[in-house]
A and B are shown apart, each in its own frame.
Chain A
């Protein structure tokens, strides 16, 4: 169910989740919220996709991924290697130390409401666009979201 990102101008969200049901649900819900979606079941698959394509705008990743690289390491790798990509993380662990997340990275606890996920992604996209328009100006989150909505309306 990989969406054809090239044919549209919707922001492309890479969803990284090892639990199939949650990944499938997230794909569908985030797609319905107006984004293009890509999926990966592991951090390695996610890195491979990030290396292949340059149009990924946001990564939405579970923290608790199996294998050598969990979502936390993935988030840091993305921040280091692809700084423009916005990062949203999620986890069922209540005691996650959010200080360990890279700066500017959002955290949403599981189980989550997709409206919240979509809103968070839009916020991050809004900030990114605003900063790119005028790097010397600082925007509050609300202002930048409003600006983003105005431009994309």
Chain B
């Protein structure tokens, strides 16, 4: 190094100011320890990054004691390695003198006297807190991503299973064209219900949006009146109601009030608190259509089962369908549903 300094310019070799400038300018914490591992010297730059105002208080303290946890043993080992003539390296966490947590990349190496014997130790600690933070944030992000991917995978599998069940139930009978049409309509409705739920990250869905979504592809919407307070449905109930409303509307368009120009449908819901036990009520009422007669049990298909059994099951309530001559009425009574918190 001597030769390189001479070559670099006059007055550099054997100039103590070179060393002083290096120690003051370097952002690493450069320390000299005695062979007992006690702090004897700290560079100006080191006092800055370690936030040391009075080195006098630290001088003579065992350096490994500044490290907590596994860093303590690492520091002792690094000191032992340097005393033996090697270079000890480790990464660890230690607070600054003011108590601020930092992560350090540390190297401890021997300083030799004229005879080549180790007389002191040089410890250089580099502040790697930013890198450490970036790596741990990346690690957290990857973990979150893996969790979300697993959740998404589960949801997709479940949705595929639901589509499979709908296909199974729709593709019965010999009329393939009719079944295909019914299947496509059910998928569209399921997709729309998913859209509404996705807007709230599958937390809940406003009941009005669910009903309007389920009616969107049906004709005669100008003759459907929707009336009820703003309520938020949990995902399961939202999907069940969407499916049921879709089936009710399909039946109304095919055979019921919406099959003629005169008929109409009234959809209403509320949380009925007039009784001792408050109940959620949802009522679908058809009127003005062709005269209704109750279908035989054998004529009740997948749609009817969805309306009656799925609603009852998923709302933990009862569903009653009455085939009144003036129009079909379907009523769901179930435990109360949550009032919406969002203002609309």
Contact = CB atoms under 8 A, between A and B. Distances in A.
Contacts of B165: 21-22, 24-26
A22 B169 CA distance: 10
- Identify the interface centre among A21, A22, A110, A112: most chain B CB within 10 Å of its CB: A21
Contact of B166 (A21, A26, A64, A114): A21
A16 to B, nearest CB: 14
Contacts of B310: 20-21, 24
A24 B169 contact: yes
Nearest to B310: A20
A8 B155 CA distance: 38
Nearest to B163: A111
Chain B interface size range: 20 to 34
A20 B313 contact: yes
A92 B309 contact: no
A19 interface: yes
Given A29-B168, A93-B150, A95-B150, A24 B157 contact: no
A92 B169 contact: no
Contacts of B313: 20, 41
24 contacts: A19-B158, A20-B313, A21-B162, A21-B310, A22-B165, A24-B309, A24-B310, A25-B165, A25-B168, A25-B169, A28-B169, A64-B154, A92-B153, A92-B156, A92-B157, A92-B161, A93-B150, A93-B153, A94-B153, A95-B150, A109-B157, A110-B161, A111-B157, A111-B164
Given A92-B153, A111-B161, 13 more contacts: A19-B158, A20-B309, A20-B314, A21-B162, A21-B243, A21-B310, A22-B162, A25-B165, A92-B156, A93-B153, A95-B150, A111-B163, A112-B161
